[in-house]
């Protein structure tokens, strides 16, 4: 273990965001064109783009807003979108940025517009399993290595879920930390380590043992609460494990947090100002930051399971009982444990690692797109649908959002109206093959009624054998713009009453005049999630695809 002094230096570096060896080149092609500086918003307001993991802290921000008689608006985005937003520089529509990790500042702030970024709180990313499994494996009595975790999941001892490394910071953090361990624990990962065949083999084996993927840390936690019978654990923030255990129904065993001794990463949650030359707004930001870092508010944040102060802190004896009620030792959480996180690599290395994750390391995806081509889709509807599919199937565009296909992926297109239209499929990531698939999608014309249930059932039938092999992260993505004929009962009858939804979730995309209650009920019945595409259907498709 590295000396404690080095650890203190590392945490200090996190706070000032000096961990990253990023260059200050022009924005990458993947980011939108640089925009003109927007007109300043009123001084009495502050707009923040934030990671979704901060949503539980929003009441604290609104309390500050009331005290200061200002308005605070918060928009929650995924890590990739936060990075892309930051790449706009002074053209960003936001005044401040609050991602889960400074890593995304490193990747996105190519123009150096972020000022005064400070870590508000921290949360280690852990491998959490049911307490009985931790005890059976002896993980509750010793330090656990990443290799021991790999051996356990390959033996089938742990059935677990994890977020995508290219869509959620908890997945990114775990991926980089585990990759570092598999590379032998270097001071910092480099491109040479990414090209190490032994390290590549181990990270592929680990990622292909993941039983369920997600694009959101919070949603992953909620899914596990609903499906706890089918899974044994998850890779997630310590704070999410605490929330999970607090929300468990009485009588269910809690998750036990395992901190891989050679593969720990810590989310440092930096809040930074996007400098556009507005001194008055910067003063409001400074007050907000000072408020969030004040002792009373830090105590409130800590009460929600986020660490404040130094990681590995000794509990204040006067606060020990209150802290132990949150950071419960029975859940494997030990505040006096010294955690030695990996050093986050330089931005170009992180970018290459994420591209390799998406195209070479991760478990292959089996995705069926069930697309509405009813008559009501004519005009704007079908044009937006074509744009969304172009975003996913054109690999040059997909790369912008880290959604590119891998050579082993399977893509199925099932168009529908009142019945099932001829379907198409493609294997792999050959741009020509996917381009031909896109051409077929774009050639379809809308007409007829709407029955999404028969389309989804057809997709399930086509996927069944491959999905049951366990080789793929499988999902069905259903997009519809109107009240659908048919019913959930019809769908379940058509798929033969199988329990495929536990491993083949259905994600629905709300569009046009589709009924939210119908789309939400369908998704939740099949262990999925509804995405609202009424304002931006392309964004909704991107988010849904990020879940497998």
Same domain, 192 and 276: no
Same domain assignment for residues 25 and 138: no
Task: Give me the residue label for tokens 């936690």.
Answer: 221
Same domain, 80 and 41: yes
Task: Give the end of a domain, one of 355, 382, 414.
Answer: 355
Strand partners, 68: none
Q: Is residue 63 part of a domain?
A: yes
Q: Which of 100, 120, 110 is nearest to 285 (CA)?
A: 120
Q: What is the CATH number of the domain that holds 347?
A: 3.40.190.10
Looking at residue 40, what is its pLDDT?
Answer: 42
Domain identity same for 31 and 59: yes
Domain end among 355, 377, 412: 355
Q: Is residue 400 one of the residues assigned to a domain?
A: yes
| Per-residue model confidence (pLDDT) at position 337 | 87
| pLDDT score recorded for residue 548 | 86
What parts of the chain have a pLDDT lower than 50?
A: 1-42
Whether residue 292 is found in the same domain as residue 147: no
CATH number for position 414: 3.40.50.410
- 411 and 538: one domain? yes
Q: Give the position of tokens 């083999």.
A: 201
Residue with tokens 């944040």: 301
Instruction: Give the domain range for residue 396.
Output: 364-545
Helix or strand holding residue 318 (H, E): none
Answer whether residue 459 is part of any domain.
yes
The verdict on 230 and 285 lying in the same domain is no
Closest CA to 160 of 216, 207, 102, 112: 207
Residue 12 lies in a domain: yes
**Residue 129 domain-assigned?**
yes
Q: Which residues are CB-contacts of 431 (< 8 A; sequence separation ≥ 6)? A: 394, 395, 396
Query: What is the pLDDT at residue 499?
Result: 57
Residue 533 lies in a domain: yes
Q: Are residues 38 and 169 in the same domain?
A: no
Same domain, yes or no: 247 and 303: no
Quick one: 113 and 127 in the same domain?
A: no
Strand-pair category, 114-119 with 270-274: antiparallel
Q: Clarify whether residues 350 and 304 are in a common domain.
A: no
CA R_g for the chain: 23
Residue 331 in any domain: the answer is no
Give 303's contacts (C-beta < 8 A, 6+ positions apart): 322, 326
Q: Give the chain's domain count.
A: 3
Let me know whether 20 and 166 are in one domain.
Answer: no
> Distance between CA atoms of 337 and 310, rounded to whole angstroms?
11
Q: For residue 150, is it within any domain?
A: yes
């Amino acid at each position: 273990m590295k000396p404690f002094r080095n650890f203190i230096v590392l945490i200090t570096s996190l706070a000032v965001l000096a961990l990253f060896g990023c260059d200050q080149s022009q924005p990458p092609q993947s980011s939108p064109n640089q925009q003109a500086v927007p007109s300043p918003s009123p001084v009495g307001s502050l707009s923040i783009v934030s990671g979704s993991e901060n949503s539980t802290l929003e009441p604290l921000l609104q309390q500050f807003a009331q005290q200061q008689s200002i308005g605070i608006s918060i928009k929650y985005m995924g890590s990739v979108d936060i990075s892309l937003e930051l790449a706009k520089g002074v053209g960003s529509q936001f005044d401040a940025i609050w991602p889960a990790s400074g890593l995304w500042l490193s990747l996105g702030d190519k123009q150096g517009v972020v000022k005064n970024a400070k870590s508000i709180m921290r949360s280690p990313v852990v491998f959490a399993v049911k307490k009985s499994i931790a005890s059976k494996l002896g993980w509750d009595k010793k330090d656990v290595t990443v290799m021991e975790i790999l051996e356990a999941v390959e033996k089938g001892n742990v059935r677990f879920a994890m977020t995508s490394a290219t869509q959620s910071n908890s997945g990114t953090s775990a991926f980089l930390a585990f990759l570092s361990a598999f590379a032998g624990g270097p001071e910092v990962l480099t491109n040479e380590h990414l090209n190490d065949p032994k390290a590549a083999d181990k990270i592929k084996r680990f990622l292909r043992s993941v039983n369920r993927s997600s694009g959101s840390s919070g949603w992953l936690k909620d899914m596990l609460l609903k499906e706890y019978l089918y899974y044994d654990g998850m890779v997630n923030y310590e704070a999410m494990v605490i929330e999970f255990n607090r929300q468990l129904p009485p009588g269910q065993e809690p998750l036990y947090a395992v901190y891989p001794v050679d593969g720990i990463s810590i989310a440092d949650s930096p809040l930074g100002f996007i400098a556009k030359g507005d001194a008055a707004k910067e003063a409001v930001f400074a007050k907000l930051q000072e408020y969030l870092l004040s002792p009373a508010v830090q105590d409130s944040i800590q009460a929600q399971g986020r660490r404040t102060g130094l990681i590995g802190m000794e509990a204040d004896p006067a606060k020990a009982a209150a802290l132990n009620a949150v950071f419960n030792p029975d859940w494997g959480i030990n505040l006096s444990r010294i955690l030695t996180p990996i050093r986050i690599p330089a931005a170009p290395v992180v970018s290459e690692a994420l591209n390799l994750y998406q195209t070479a390391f991760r478990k292959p995806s089996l995705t069926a797109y069930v697309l509405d081509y009813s008559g009501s889709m004519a005009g704007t509807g079908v044009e937006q649908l074509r744009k969304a599919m172009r975003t996913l199937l054109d690999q040059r565009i997909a790369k912008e959002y880290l959604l590119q296909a891998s050579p082993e992926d399977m893509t199925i297109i099932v168009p529908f109206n009142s019945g099932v239209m001829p379907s198409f499929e493609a294997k792999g990531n050959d741009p020509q093959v996917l381009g031909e698939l896109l051409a077929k999608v774009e050639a379809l014309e809308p007409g007829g009624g709407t029955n999404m249930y028969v389309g989804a059932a057809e997709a399930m039938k086509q996927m069944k054998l491959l999905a049951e092999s366990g080789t793929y992260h499988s999902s069905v993505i259903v997009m519809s713009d109107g009240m659908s004929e048919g019913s959930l009962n019809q769908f379940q009858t058509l798929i033969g009453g199988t329990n495929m939804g536990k491993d083949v979730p259905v994600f629905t995309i709300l569009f046009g005049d589709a009924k939210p209650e119908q789309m939400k009920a369908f998704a939740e019945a099949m262990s999925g999630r509804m995405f609202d595409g009424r304002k931006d259907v392309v964004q909704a498709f991107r988010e849904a695809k990020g879940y497998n």
